[in-house]
Amino acid sequence: MELTGKRVLLTGGTAGIGEQMAHQLKVKGAEVIVTGRSLKRLEAKRKAGFEAIEADLHTPLGAERILQALGDRELDVLVNNAGQGVDHDFREKVPDADAADDCIYANLNTPIRLITALVPRLKQRPEAAIVNVTSGLAIAPRAGGPVYCATKAALRSYTQAIRAQLADTSIAVIEALPPVVDTQMTAGRTNRKMAPEECARQIVQALEKGQDEANVGMVKVLKAVHSSSPALARNIMLRF
């Protein structure tokens, strides 16, 4: 896909991977609309030349707010990047079910709502794309994050299914699977982390090339292990 002149809606575009993607897409000539929750970060994005929409994506109101702000404008690319983690470890304490619901809604329900609302619009464009950012944990989960892993695995399945449904349209459906990236969500993790700039670069490159999947960084290794032995991949990742 040639990104010059494309209008891109990017959720979670004020920090982490999304912030880097927003800047890289803008450099390539795209018009980027970002969403986020922090008023300070949203204002910084507006000063940097982005349209920025305040939206909390763990309730139906988040998607509704985005769609209202978008209005009836044409759209070329939807990037479902926003993600939310949640502590859910019975080894430490009884987890908070309400917090799990928030994570499930933000990571799965909101992308489905946005895709459902925007596919008819994307179909009208000569070249369009949906990019769903899942995780290497969609391939094999880690023991400490079962709800987050489950949402990403579910979004991976949804992405694969709608790719088949939309195969005869102008819409490319791309899944991006990052490794552990150095963001606010992973601040407490001590293992090796990828720089968000490099992660974003590989995702944008996959969008330009129209790849079905962007296995980013060490996820390439995990995918190879899983291809030969799913059980081995699970056993390795469950230790984290």
The encoded tokens of residue 34 equal: 């970002």
Instruction: Provide the annotated active-site residues.
Output: 148
- Which residues, including other chains, have CB under 8 Å from residue 66's CB and lie 6 or more apart? 9, 11, 35, 53, 55, 114
Q: Do 18 and 82 meet the contact criterion of CB atoms below 8 Å apart? A: yes
Neighbours of 26 (CB within 10 A): 17
178: β partners? none
Question: Could you give the CA distance from residue 112 to residue 105 in angstroms, rounded to a whole number?
Answer: 10
β-sheet bridge partners, residue 128: 171
Q: Which residues contact 32 (CB under 8 A, 6 or more apart)?
A: 8, 10, 13, 22, 25, 26, 50, 51
